[in-house]
Amino acid sequence: MIPPDDLAIETRGLNLWYGSFQALRNVNLRIRRGIITALIGPSGCGKTTLLRCFNRINERDPNVRTTGEVRILGHEIHGPHVALEELRRHVGMVFQRPNPLPLSVYENVVFGLRVHCSAGALTRDELDAAVESALTEVGLWRDLRDRLDRRATDLQLEQQQKLCIARLLPLKPELILMDEPCSALDVEGTHAIEELMFSLRERYTIVIVTHNMAQARRASDECVFMLLGELVEHRRTADLFLAPSDPRTAEYIEGRYG
């Protein structure tokens, strides 16, 4: 049992439908703070849908309907007084393909601050400090400190993805969701993002969706296997891969399913 203070995410009886299609079925999940948790399973199993429940981004689709509970740091995120803008400030998201804004590196990093803070609330010195801190945290400061006015979309893909992570950090999120963040990167870029995840995990809770079994094994502390919208197994990553408790998990990680 995870002590309440160590719990980052909890779902209780979570169901989700896209129109008449049920994508999630009675998902009960408890994710610890300060670790990397991987969601794995074959295409269409519901892992990305589940990830997107944690910041309610699924609700952009008017055909989506959910039942059950999702608690982030002890708070039910579907409550009547929950502001989506504030939720997404605390639960940042990184997508499959890097999506920097067509602005300078500097303006990408401070974009969230400009959106969430009233005009004039932050001085130029405070913005500069936020940029340096965020870029340092993702390992880009040394390379980009003299090129902060460079257009972000001109960066290498690996740098773009790191910049997308840096863009979240000035808002001080508590959770970072990553939806296959290495799928557009080469081997070297994938390694760099995985190393960055390790460096961030003590300060942020990270949940990653990946189709890459080797990456899930390398880069996560705990692993959740999903199949047909159901949570099949959730264990320490080493235990899940070495001694899965459900035969369906064994079939999947051994390449006999999906």
DSSP-assigned states of every residue in 57-107: GGGGSTTEEEEEEEEETTEETTSTT--HHHHHHHEEEE-SS----SSBHHH
Query: Is residue 157 included in any domain, yes or no?
Result: no
- Residue 134's pLDDT is what? 96
* CA 193 remoteness from chain centre: 13
- Residue 100's pLDDT is what? 95
Query: Is residue 196 included in any domain, yes or no?
Result: yes
- Residue 80's pLDDT is what? 84
Element housing 232 (H / E): strand 230-236
Query: Is residue 144 included in any domain, yes or no?
Result: no
Total domain count for the chain? 1
> What's the start-to-end Cα distance of the chain, in Å?
31
Query: Is residue 35 included in any domain, yes or no?
Result: yes
Query: Is residue 151 included in any domain, yes or no?
Result: no
Print pLDDT tens along the chain (258 aa): 565 678 999 999 999 999 999 999 999 999 999 999 999 999 999 999 999 999 999 989 999 999 999 999 999 999 888 888 889 889 999 999 999 999 999 999 999 888 877 656 788 999 999 999 999 999 999 999 999 999 999 999 999 999 999 999 999 999 999 999 999 899 999 999 999 999 998 899 999 999 999 999 999 999 999 999 999 999 999 999 999 999 999 999 987 665
The CATH number of the domain holding residue 96 is: 3.40.50.300
Query: Is residue 136 included in any domain, yes or no?
Result: no
Q: What is the pTM of this model?
A: 0.93
CA contacts within 13 A on the Cβ side of 32: 18
Query: Is residue 17 included in any domain, yes or no?
Result: yes
Question: pLDDT tens-digit profile of 194-253?
Answer: 999 999 988 999 999 999 999 999 999 999 999 999 999 999 999 999 999 999 999 999
Q: 207: domain range?
A: 4-102+175-253
d(CA 194, CA 199): 9
Query: Is residue 143 included in any domain, yes or no?
Result: no
